[in-house]
Amino acid sequence: MDPSESRPLTRGQIFGYGLGALGTGVYSTVPGLLLVYYMTDTLAIAAGLAGLAAVIPRVWDVVTDPLMGMISDRTRSTMGRRRPYLLLGGILLPLAFAALFATPSLSSPAAMFAYVLAMYVACATAFTIYAVPYTAMPAEMTRDYHGGTSLMSARMALMTVGILLGGTAPMLVKAAGGGAGGYRLMGLCIGGVMMLGLLGAFIGTRNAPQARAQQDPPKWREQLAIARRNKPFATLLVAYVTQLVSVGCILTSVPFFAKYVVVASGFASEDLVTILFLCLVVPTVLTMAPWTAFSKRVGKRSALLCSQATFALGACGLWWTAQLSIWAVAINTAVIGVGFAGTQLFPYAMLPDTILLDQVRSGMRREGVYSGVWTAGDKGGQALGVGVASGLLALTGFIESGAGQLIDQPQLARTGIALASSFVPACMMLLSALLLRRYRLGREQVANLESQLGQPAG
């Protein structure tokens, strides 16, 4: 084990790494929150087709993410294996994001669908260049069981700040006059904030511990086989993907839920979306530290199970509170935010433990392999969530519209939106908790692995 990996990380290194999550949090939020809504209610693209445009690029990631993991594992440079891609992706992603919401006036919704699809594929590719190496870095930066949790806590705290900033996107669209022009200005502003966070991590990790490149990293199919043989990793990944279906479903539904389901509140739908985001993100930020402390007492898996149950409880409540008042919805959303903090924190805190297990067994440093498969699952889970939500809209007869048009949606469509915002994500989160019960890699097992890795060879 590299002696630098056993030294405590400095606050500057922890914060510097976390800045990248601010940028990725913004990116993960805005397309997930607004892209389908933008296509159906501004570009007049049918809900089923809009869902397809949102899902295809994330399916593309399932191929490119493991490939990116292999590339970063074998990279040799003066900046290390991972950081060159933080620089490249940190520049390309904000530019592609701005182009995504700058759809030109084309002749038909079909042509606009093709443009959005092409730009979202460009965004997905740029995000892969950044996110896969970024996710691999913690396993190189520290081997301490709770040190990894602290690093992930900083990451998740800054990610939630990014989510909060992304949640202001609907208000930016409204402030810029709404319609296509409002989305175009929003894309430029949010893209600039995103670039600051992404490049901040590149700068902030310049002195962080890093490992040397592998001589012969495994090919794409071998990576999947390696991940499958690592039972704790495979269990954690399947449970994480399942919970992301829940998150992706509820995130996609929020603008529709605010506009078509919540009883009259006196707020414009764009403002209501931002209010609900504040109710989600503020509790997420405030409870990140308590969740970390709680995990030190009960273990990461048990803490994750508790956070999943909290999230599911809050999601179920949205079915009833939507017909009461905006304040009832806000309180209920805050409960979801408390659970959301743990569901985002603990899987990433547990991931380095599964990578450590592989290193002890194989004697190899394969962080990129695991991060590539992990981020592919991350995006695949979110894509499934988007597909479920948009599929429900299409099946229940949701009517698309152009900018400025007011549509009275049928009751069945309103019911579909309510289901996609409440019971469907709650059921997926509970299924994830059931899958997680098979995970067996606690603090004692990790301590034993660390001691084995610390022994001299032979």
pLDDT tens readout for residues 116-171? 999 999 999 999 999 988 988 877 776 655 555 667 777 877 887 888 888 888 88
With H, G, I as helix, E, B as strand and everything else as coil, classify residue 402: strand
Residue 26 covered by a domain: yes
Residue 46 covered by a domain: yes
Using the CB atoms, write b or e for 124-151: b if 16+ within 10 Å. Answer: bbbbbbbbbbbbbbbbbbbbbbbbbbbb
Strand partners, 402: 43
Residue 3 covered by a domain: no
**Cβ neighbours of residue 372 under 8 Å, at least 6 residues apart?**
65, 66, 67, 68, 69, 70, 132, 136, 223
Residue 92 covered by a domain: yes
Evaluate whether 62 touches 44 at the Cβ level (below 8 Å): no
> pTM, whole model, 2 decimals?
0.75
Residue 29 covered by a domain: yes
Query: Structural domain of residue 351, as residue ranges?
Result: 11-209+219-454
Residue 5 covered by a domain: no
CATH of the domain at 404: 1.20.1250.20
The total number of structural domains in the chain stands at 1
- Of 375 and 433, more confident: 433
The secondary structure of residue 62, as a DSSP letter, is H
Distance (Å, whole) CA 204 – CA 104: 37
**Where residue 455 falls among pLDDT bands split at 50, 70, 90?**
very low
Mean pLDDT value across the chain: 85
Residue 1 covered by a domain: no
pLDDT of res. 117:
96
